[in-house]
Amino acid sequence: MTFDAQAVYTELHAHFRGRIRRNESLSRHCTFGVGGPADVWIALDSRDELMSLVRLCAERRWPLLLVGNGTNTLYADAGVRGIVARVVLNKYTIEEHGDGTALLLAEAGISWPRLLNELAPLGWGGLEFGPGIPGTLGGGVISNAGAHNSDMSQVLEWIEVFDARGSSVNRSSVPLVQRYQRNELDLSYRHSRFRELRRAGRFCWSPDRAGRHEGHDPR
Ligand SMILES: Cc1cc2nc3c(=O)[nH]c(=O)nc-3n(C[C@H](O)[C@H](O)[C@H](O)COP(=O)(O)OP(=O)(O)OC[C@H]3O[C@@H](n4cnc5c(N)ncnc54)[C@H](O)[C@@H]3O)c2cc1C
Q: Give the CATH number, domain containing residue 177.
A: 3.30.465.10
pLDDT at 113 over 50: yes
Q: Which domain holds residue 189?
A: 92-210
Closest by alpha carbon to 24, among 90, 98, 94, 75?
75
Residue 85 beta carbon below 6 angstroms from any ligand 1 atom: no
Gap from CA of 125 to ligand 1 centroid (Å):
22
Expressed in angstroms and rounded, the spacing between residue 69 Cα and the centre of ligand 1 is 7
| Amino acid at residue number 111 | S
Based on the fold, state whether residues 98 and 133 are members of the same structural domain: yes
Lowest mean pLDDT among 40-49, 64-73, 92-101, 196-205: 196-205
Q: Give the Å distance between the CA of 7 and the centre of ligand 1.
A: 31
pLDDT tens, residue by residue, 115-166? 999 999 999 999 999 999 999 999 999 999 999 999 999 999 999 998 776 6
User: What pLDDT shows up at residue 170?
Assistant: 52
- Taking 50 as the threshold, does the pLDDT of residue 50 lie above it? yes
Mutate-to-test residue for ligand 1 from 44, 115, 133, 190, highest number of ligand atoms within 8 A of CB: 133
Check whether residue 98 and residue 112 sit in a common domain. yes
Q: Which ligand 1 atom is the nearest neighbour of the CA of 205? A: 43
Instruction: Judge if 97 and 81 occupy the same domain.
Output: no
- Asked if 108 and 83 sit in the same domain, the reply is no
pLDDT for 180-219, tens place per residue?
999 999 999 999 999 886 654 333 334 444 443 333 322 2
CATH code of the domain in which 52 resides: 3.30.43.10
